Structure 1
Amino acid sequence: MPQLLLELFSEEIPARMQAQAARDLERMARDGLGKAGLISEGLKAFAGPRRLTLVVEGLPIAQPDVHEELKGPKANAPEQALEGFLRKTGLTREQLTEKDGVLFAHVHKAGRPTPEIIAELVEQIVRGFPWPKSMTWGHGKLRWVRPLQRILCVFNREVVPLSIDGIVAGDLSEGHRFMAETRVFRAREFDEYAEALAGHYVVLDVEERKQRILEGARTLCFAQGLELVEDEGLLDEVAGLAEWPTPILGDMDPAFLSLPPEVIRTSMRTHQKYFAVRKPGEAGLAPKFLVVSNNVAPDGGVEIARGNAKVLSSRLSDAKFFWAEDVKDGFEPWLEKLNGVTFHAKLGTMAERVERIVALAREIAPLVGANADKAAEAARLAKADLASQMVGEFPELQGIMGGYYAREFGLETDIADAIRDHYRPQGPGDSVPTAPLSVAVALADKLDTLVGFFAIDEKPTGSKDPYALRRAALGVIRIILSHNARIELGGIGANGPLLNSYGMLAGQVSKRKLEAAVWKLFQLEKELDIEISGVGPQPVLPPGGKPFWERWWVVKDEILAFLADRLKVLLRDQGKRHDLVDAVFALKGDDLVSIVARVDALSTFLATDDGVNLLAGYKRAANILKAEEKKGPLPTGEPVRAAEPAEEGALFDALAALGPKLDAALAAEDFTGAMTALAGLRAPVDAFFDKVLVNSDVAAERENRLRLLQQVQGAMGRVADFSLVTG
């Protein structure tokens, strides 16, 4: 069947926009064709440095004809109603049919030719394309990411009549900007188009460009006994910069290897889009770099490599200067500068933030097996490198440079590592810190971020999260789980971490600073007379208002709920059933390690016959109790052991035996053991429902049996809220 080939050719499209542009083009074309009733056999979009391409296979040559039967007024309806129906259908009275006294119109609409629909669709796509940034040029009003130069639009090997702001569609495209002998070529179907592009030094498919880069780079490195330091993000970017990517290996002055390898890689990546290389099995870098050219040079790239090496040397000379100047200063002058750096208008300076992190790290340290004094020292220095020249030039190296400077200044290794790692993890693919000291400082940093922005009501909404609070929350969760840290987030210190982070600074921060923090966080009226007495935290009661600490407990609950939501998302992404996660979270605990262990144990238990049948028994008991509760209050008190029937007595005995087992298992946090203990209820519960009539005519029997069902429900509810489990 006929094929549609569309190419939108422009000046250079930013590499970061290309992948989404291909997806948007594919989506808009599929939606538009579908609305027009044109169903294709296949559709694919491509994006490159200067073009967006779309190929649609198996389109019909026209829309299908449409036959509609429209119901009209009754045959004896007033003349005005009939005239209105005739105007709507475009028919005469004689063309209508009558059935059971009602008039019907049979309307036939011939399908429009596909080229007409394509012409309209392409114009809609071009004028409504969702570029993150776009521009206008010349005298027209057309907006595109960069000036649009050509439109190739061919259907069934025929040019689609189409013109947009003076750009007339045709069957011409262009090859490589300067490598192709003849830049312009003609194409009327996709295979011809793709072959012509390759012959004009253009690789259309981004995955092919990426593979070409990797294979060429690895070959060059292997020939010199090196290996490529692979970087997926950089690979994506450079594949969007070159139509005919050609890797070239260049030389770097070995003197620059005295710089931290992260500095070298960041300079290469950020400014020059170079890949780093190294010797296999070695941690450092080799004095080489790999650049991806958009040209096959006659000399094999010698001059290109030489020119790029000069540029790199200039960049790395600056970095070497920054390093030399920074190591002259040391941490203390940088810490002083943080007093003049605003963290957030409502949250004070960076120096004040550091004091909060220090207080919180000291509280967390014993809970993760770290030395409290060391944690406080690492936290005090963690943000210092923000004032260094190197981080000023390369902000992405914050923390990393702090670790290097700490070693340079002779600090202990674990403190240097904690400074380096306290931002981690910075994304789902980033590893988490594992050393106890690093864990303490990283948790303090992230908890302070969460507390601060929740306190000033800067919470994530929908898809907006300008302060990366979801990432901070996920970082807290991943660190705790990977370290198996037994932390109750609502119970660090006397009043919980959300109080310690800010409120318990009376001993560390002056009265003036604490009053300013209260002011900024809660936006109190200027007229409030706030007094803080004593060294420790004291209730501050504004006139007519709530105690200061009570406000913090509200914030605490919000943050714990936020962390719970993030943990639910993480567990669901790991394949955990959402209902089991909800059933465990209903117990209101905030020990994340315990929550995950409960979910795992519950999942395993419900995969067994005992689990399935006991769940069914639980739900039957819950339904009976719910129905009885509607009739009046349920009986209170403890059940007694009935001699008859035997099944009732057996359930009483099973519940009595279960209590101590469940107590011991839960106290030891042996959740698998707790589930095993619950499994002992399966047979007695099944027999009870099979042989015992709960709603006995004898009131005493009925009440005792309802008490037994309440005990079943209560015992199972100690492990999870089984009412939230589906199935």
Structure 2
Amino acid sequence: MPDLLLELFSEEIPARMQRKAADDLKKLITNGLVDAGLTYEGARAFATPRRLTLVVSGCTASSPDIREERKGPRVGAPEKALAGFLRGAGLSSIDEATIQSDPKKGDFYVAVINKPGRKAEDIIAGLVPETIRKFPWPKSQKWGVAGEGALRWVRPLHSIVCTFGIDAEAPEVITFDVDGIVTGNTTEGHRFHGKERFDVKRFDDYEAGLKARKVILDLDERKDIILNDAKTLAFAQGLELVEDGGLLEEVGGLVEWPVVLMGSFDEEFLDMPDEVIQTSIREHQKCFVLKDQKTGKLANKFVLVSNLIAPDDGATIVAGNEKVVRARLSDAKFFWETDLKTGLETRLYKLDNMVFHEKLGTQTERVERLIALSSALAPLVGADADKAARAAKLAKADLVSDMVFEFPELQGLMGRYYALAQDEDASVAEAIEMHYKPQGPSDEIPSNPVAASVALADKLDLLTGFWAIDEKPTGSKDPFALRRAALGVIRILEDNNIRLSLFDVFKTARPDFTQGRDLMGFFADRLSVHLKDKGARHDLIDAVFGLGNQDDVLMISKRVEALGEFLSSEDGTNLLAGYRRATNILRAEEKKSGETYNGQVEGAHLDAAEEIALAAAIDTARSAAVEAVEKEDFEAAMSALAALRAPVDAFMIEVHVNDERAEVRENRLKMLNQIRETTRTVADFSKISG
């Protein structure tokens, strides 16, 4: 079966857009082929700085013929109905329709529409231009011919290769044009090492032709070359590469033929924190830093990636990069030294002029809230209240430092360095850095109690504040990262084994807060997602939340975990079955009589040995379960419930609930209700599926 080869050749595509653009091209074209009735065996997409490429292998040569029957009005229907039917079916007269009979509805017209299949070439010739014109670039501009129909592309589009055919034959060029760019079967290689155009037949010779002209088509292959060559170069110098996945992805998108080189900078710059050096070199020059294998400290060398095979083995390129790196590190050193002289507390007044949010005040006002909330949380998390307040006071001071102004991603970290330099307590310095964390599912979680108190205060102030002004996440939009903040609170509480009533904390954060229920619902959703990611069953989460007024994250998590273990045991499975039999009978009787059976079981009306045993077992289990829950020992609470299994089974088998004696019947229904209420000491069993 034939293969499709498509290349869209342009000026440089931003590195951050390349991988997604390749994926989008693959998705749009293959989906379009399938929608048109074609099938294919496989598809691969590639991106370099100057091209997007797609190869679709094993494509069918044409779409299938389609026979469609369209039911029309009954025979003898009004003229308007017949005219509408003819128009919709594409028939010129009613004579072209057939008549079918229905025993109930009588005779009616049917239009048989035969749609012949289309050649793949014709489908592709229409699909590709449409895809190009509607391509979802994050940012694009109009290029070429001016006017409303001008092509929008990320950079000027120069040529389009579009061939289709089988290996044994020369492929056909599928001809179409986009904004005056006519398809062909020629392309070019590297901007400097392979500018001459060459003919393209199929993907294998296309990829080989590019490589011969110093273009490596596969982004992941370019990344592997960069990483391996950088490690080898570092090892030869007795150094180790500081790996950076994000930078590697970006640099892989900046070059078509990676050439890895090494440069150096003055040792005096090593007096700055490693993170400052790495950030400055990475952000300004897209270079990797190296560290000494023995000490683990940064070395005064860096790795750069060129897109040129230079005649002087890269000496001029290295010298140019060293010059720029030296200038950038000089700037960073000036920022570092200036910030150290100024100190953190001296800068706090500048937060007066930094608006956090127009409805929530300045950063100074936010810091005041953090001080109060951190102090209140400190005893609950085992932290020193004075240290928590001090950390909260300085937590945002580095936002107005020269270094963080230049490199915002260093916020918090620079605050820690500056705090240590001015002899702040180590736990205070750590809290300044860690109060932003965790910022993602794999990010570090504050474990120091002072850091935990400030991190919780920061996130809870954020959540209660935006809830108070009705700025909540909607659908996929979460501009203030409130979902991340809620998940951060959950993870801090779980990992540090912290018990906390969120309803109480909401009121502490904002005494006039009235949306506690709604915000707790948001936390419940986040906690459900978090627990599901850890393998918890959704119905068990629902069973715990079904108890109502659940606002202690740690206790909810422990209940769900213990409930899952219990229900995976034989006792748990059988008790759940007995519970369902009991509640089904109870619900049916409550619906029939309109009454509830909430009263106490009366010993005088206990008749059968099995119900006497069950009544005693319920009293024992309920007391033990309540006591265990109060001690936060949910395993023991589940064990208490497990003791109900045998007496519940015996009762359900041997005892007839709807006894003829009214007082006995009512007493037995009350006993069924007590089974239900006893299980609710740990969860709402009615929410459990399976």
Report the counterpart of residue 220 of structure 1 in structure 2. 233
In the alignment, structure 1 residue 264 sits paired with structure 2 residue 270: no
Query: For the Cα contact (< 8 Å) 1:177–1:183, is it kept in 2?
Result: no
1:230 correspondence with 2:240: no
Between the aligned partners of 2:447 and 2:396, the Cα distance in structure 1 is: 20
Match of 1:620 in 2: 581
Corresponding pairs, count: 673
Aligned residue number for residue 360 of structure 1: 373
AA at the equivalent of 2:26: E
**Cα-Cα RMSD:** 1.9
Look up the match of 1:499.
507
C-alpha distance in 1, partners of 2:422/2:94? 98
Q: Tell me the CA shift for residue 169 of structure 1.
A: 0.7
Question: What SS is found at the alignment partner of 1:210?
Answer: helix
Offset at residue 590 of structure 1 (A) = 1.7
Residues 681, 184 of structure 1: alpha-carbon distance in 2 compared, 3 angstrom cutoff: same
TM superposition shift of 1:333: 2.2
Q: What amino acid does structure 2 have at the position aligned with 1:480?
A: L
Hey, what's the Cα distance between the residues in 2 that align with 1:91 and 1:457?
60
**Percentage of identical aligned residues:** 54
CA distance in 2, matches of 1:333, 1:93: 90
**2:610 equivalent in structure 1:** 647
The CA deviation at 1:612 is 1.5
Match of 1:705 among 656, 661, 668: 668
For the pair 1:150 / 2:159, whether they are aligned, the reply is yes
What TM-score, normalized to structure 1?
A: 0.89
User: Partner residue of 1:527?
Assistant: none
How far apart are the structure 1 equivalents of 2:680 and 2:226? 58
Q: Deviation per CA, 1:635-681: give whole Å up to 9, x if none.
A: 33211345532221221121022123212311221111111111111
Name the counterpart of 1:38.
Answer: 38
* Pairing 1:692–2:652 present: no
Report what 1:196 is aligned to.
209
Counterpart in 2 of 1:255? 268
Give the drift of 1:502.
4.3
Which one is further off, 157-166 or 683-692? 683-692
DSSP 3-state at the match of 1:271: helix
Q: Deviations over 1:486-528 (max 9, x none)?
A: 222223xxxxx3333344xxxxxxxxxxxxxxxxxxxxxxxxx
- The aligned residue for residue 544 of structure 1 is none
1:224-282 alpha-carbon deviations (Å, 9 max, x no partner): 11111111111111111111122212112111110111111111121111111112253
**Candidates 137, 143, 157, aligned match of 2:143:** 137
- The offset of 1:379, in angstroms, is 0.9
Q: From the superposition, tell whether residues 648 and 388 of structure 1 become closer, same or farther in structure 2 (CA, over 3 Å).
A: same
Tell which deviates more after alignment, 449-458 or 296-305.
296-305
Whether the 8 Å CA contact 1:639–1:708 is kept in 2: the answer is yes
Matching residue of 2:126 = 120
Q: State the distance in 2 between where 1:338 and 1:81 align.
A: 74
Which residue of structure 2 lines up, in the alignment, with residue 434 of structure 1? 447
Q: 2:483, 2:526 within 8 Å by CA — same for their partners in 1?
A: yes
- For 1:622 and 1:188, the matched residues in 2 are separated by 72
Which AA in structure 2 matches 1:62? S
Partner of 1:319: 332
| Equivalent residue number for residue 114 of structure 2 | 108
Query: Mind listing any 5+ residue stretches in structure 2 that lack a counterpart?
Result: 102-106, 166-170
2:168 aligned partner: none
**What CA distance in whole angstroms lies between the structure 1 residues aligned with 2:12 and 2:2?**
31
State the alpha-carbon separation in 1 of the partners of residues 349 and 160 from structure 2. Answer: 59
Question: Which residue of the partner structure matches residue 345 of structure 2?
Answer: 332
Native 8 Å contact 1:250 1:305 kept in 2 = yes
Paired AA for residue 120 in structure 2: T
What is residue 538 of structure 1 aligned with on the other side?
A: none
1:358 deviation in Å?
Answer: 0.6
Q: TM-score with structure 2 length normalisation?
A: 0.94
Code of the aligned partner of 2:12: E
Partner of 1:490, secondary structure, is helix
Cross-structure match for 1:26? 26
| Contact 1:486 1:591 (8 Å CA) reproduced | yes
1:638 equivalent in structure 2 = 600
Counterpart for residue 2 of structure 1: 2
The corresponding residue for 2:486 is 473
**1:249-648 map, 5 Å:** 249-280=262-293, 282-491=295-504, 497-503=505-511, 549=512, 552=513, 554-587=514-547, 588-631=549-592, 632-641=594-603, 643-648=606-611
Greater CA drift, 336-345 or 124-133: 336-345
Report the secondary structure of 2:298's partner residue: coil
**Given the superposition, is the C-alpha separation of residues 691 and 254 from structure 1 closer, same or farther in structure 2, using an over 3 Å criterion?**
same
Residue 96 of structure 1: how far off its partner (Å) = 4.8
Please state whether the residue corresponding to 2:319 is helix, strand or coil. helix
How many angstroms does 1:557 deviate by? 2.6
Moved more, 3-12 or 558-567: 558-567
What letter is aligned with 1:409? Q
Return the alpha-carbon distance in structure 2 between the equivalents of residues 342 and 379 of structure 1. Answer: 18
196-205 vs 710-719, greater mean Cα deviation: 196-205
Distance 1:90 1:655, change over 3 A: same
Which residues of structure 1 form unaligned runs of 5+? 492-496, 504-548
Relative distance call for 1:77 and 1:274 in structure 2 (3 A) is same
Amino acid of the structure 2 residue aligned with 1:323: W
Q: 1:177 aligns with which of 191, 210, 223?
A: 191
Deviation for aligned residue 1:426: 1.8
Shift of 1:343: 1.4
**Distance in 2 between residues matched to 1:414 and 1:81, nearest whole Å:** 82
CA distance in 1, matches of 2:606, 2:79: 86
